[in-house]
């Protein structure tokens, strides 16, 4: 094994398929995976659980700095209200600095890492040798969220989810600090009409080329 750590940066809007794609890549290459959205979600949940405000940057930063990456539980953190709260605290520069430091420490784990989020290729790992920007139309992403919820036996309203997807995009793309956008050297992957398996094959080709 060499000393070089391979980092794969995956960004994109909510429900574009980047989480599933990241997990497949991490599994195929034996790399560590961090869903950085969970770090924002866990910080937001800790604030909500303690009855602390979501609009006090100093308080939110303190909670962000106490976060343990090892304890992030996707099932607990995936609820909609936590996602909304996460995107509110994600506009705070002090919170972002705290979480980005933890993410950068994770990114250098051997033999390699896959990080997915909104600002991995632009801010967290700007030197990553492989950057993917995974996207899909808002309609397709809302439909996927809807199907996921219904598959769990819960009820959902497509129009509400569609409006939420658009609102979340606006907040993530419109914020001043680290807005969601493709890095200039990112490969764009539109999964609107592509299966996750097909997206994985495209990603593999980029990664294998970088590993050579
Ligand atoms: O990806 P996920 O929906 O779990 O992310 C929740 C929220 O956390 C996003 O809407 C976004 O506002 C924020 N986030 C971020 N930067 C990241 C990952 C997530 O700002 N790298």
Segment 4-42, tens digit of pLDDT: 899 999 999 988 999 999 999 999 999 999 999 999 999
Query: Within this chain, do residues 83 and 156 fall inside the same structural domain, yes or no?
Result: no
The tally of domains found in the chain comes to 2
Point out which residues pair with 64 in neighbouring strands.
Answer: none
Helix axes 36-49, 57-65, angle to 10 degrees: 120
Segment 58-71, tens digit of pLDDT: 999 999 999 999 98
Query: Within this chain, do residues 51 and 81 fall inside the same structural domain, yes or no?
Result: yes
- Grouping H, G, I as helix, E, B as strand and the rest as coil, residue 96 is helix
Q: What is the pLDDT of residue 163?
A: 95
Query: Within this chain, do residues 98 and 200 fall inside the same structural domain, yes or no?
Result: no
- Is 8 within 8 Å of 127 (Cβ atoms)? no
pLDDT, block means (10 residues), the chain with 212 residues: 83 93 98 98 98 97 96 91 93 97 98 97 97 97 93 94 93 92 97 94 96 90
Residue 154 lies in a domain: yes
What residues have CB less than 8 Å from 23, skipping those under 6 apart?
A: 33
Q: What is the pLDDT of residue 79?
A: 87
Q: Which atom of ligand 1 is nearest to the CA of 15?
A: 3
Query: Within this chain, do residues 142 and 46 fall inside the same structural domain, yes or no?
Result: no
Query: Reduced to 3 DSSP states, what percent helix, strand and coil does the chain have, rounded to the nearest 5?
Result: 55, 10, 30
Query: Within this chain, do residues 172 and 69 fall inside the same structural domain, yes or no?
Result: no
Model pTM score: 0.94
CA distance 173 to 157: 24
Residue 212 lies in a domain: no
- The protein residue with its alpha carbon nearest to ligand 1, atom 14, reads 37
Query: Within this chain, do residues 136 and 202 fall inside the same structural domain, yes or no?
Result: yes
- The protein residue with its alpha carbon nearest to ligand 1, atom 2, reads 37
Asked which of 110, 129, 163 is the last residue of a domain, the reply is 110
Residue 59 lies in a domain: yes
Ligand 1 centre to CA of 212 (Å) is 32
| Residue ranges making up the domain that contains 102 | 35-110
């Amino acid at each position: 094994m060499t000393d070089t750590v391979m980092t794969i940066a995956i960004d994109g809007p909510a429900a574009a398929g980047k989480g599933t794609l990241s997990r497949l890549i991490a599994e195929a290459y034996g790399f560590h995976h961090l869903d950085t959205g969970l770090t924002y979600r866990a910080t937001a949940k800790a604030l909500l659980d303690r009855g602390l405000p979501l609009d006090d940057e100093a308080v939110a930063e303190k909670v962000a700095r106490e976060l343990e990456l090892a304890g992030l539980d996707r099932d607990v953190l995936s609820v909609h209200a936590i996602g909304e709260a996460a995107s509110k605290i994600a506009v705070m520069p002090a919170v972002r600095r705290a979480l980005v430091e933890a993410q950068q420490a994770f990114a250098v784990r051997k033999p390699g890492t896959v990080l997915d989020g909104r600002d991995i290729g632009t801010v967290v790992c700007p030197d990553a040798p492989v950057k993917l920007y995974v996207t899909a139309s808002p309609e397709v992403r809302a439909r996927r969220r809807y199907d996921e919820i219904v598959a769990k036996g819960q009820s959902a309203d497509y129009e509400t989810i569609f409006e939420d997807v658009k609102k979340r995009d606006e907040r993530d793309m419109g914020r001043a600090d680290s807005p969601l956008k493709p890095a200039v050297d990112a490969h764009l992957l539109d999964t609107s009409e592509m299966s996750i398996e097909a997206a994985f094959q495209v990603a593999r080709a980029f990664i294998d080329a970088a590993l050579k």
